[in-house]
Structure 1
Amino acid sequence: MATRLASITGSVIVGNEMGYTFSPTVASLKEALYRVWEDGKGVLEKKGHLARQRGLELFTATKMAAAFERLFLCISN
C-alpha cells in the first residue's frame, strides 16, 4: 500500500494486482484500508507473492549497483 505518485505507480505498485494505492488524503487512505479488509487474506497473499516476484526480478543488488553506476557516470559527464 502506497501513496499514488508517479514514481511509485510507475515502478513499485504497477497495478491493482500487486498492491493498493491511495491519494494523499485521509478519505482515500480510509477507502484503501477498507479495500484491503474486504479483499481478505487470500487476495493479500496473491498480491504479496506477485510483489515479491517483481522485487526479486527488478531490485537485485546487481541490478541496483548497475543502475547507480550508470547514474554516476551520467552525472560525472
Structure 2
Amino acid sequence: MKVVRSGLSVVAYDNAIYAIAGKNDFSPLASMEVYDEDTNEWEIAAYLTSARSCLGAVVLPVSLTKLAA
C-alpha cells in the first residue's frame, strides 16, 4: 500500500482489493486504496468525506435500485 494503515476495512470486488480508511500512527485516514491484481500495484482510489478508522464495509451482489425497492 502507498499509506501504512491499521484499523482499516478491506473488501474484494471485480478483480481488485480495496483498503478503506483506517489510521496511521497519528490520526484516522480518509483515503481509500485499490490493489489491481493485473498490474500488481496499489493506487489511491478516492477519499472519504471524513477520516475514520475501525469501520465496516461490505460488497452486496445486488444493485442499489433493487435495495431501495
TM-score by length of 1: 0.24
Higher strand share: 2
Query: Which of the pair is proportionally richer in helix?
Result: 1
Could you state the TM-score of these two structures normalised by the residue count of structure 2?
A: 0.26
Of structures 1 and 2, the one with the larger relative CO (CA 8 A, separation 6+) is 2
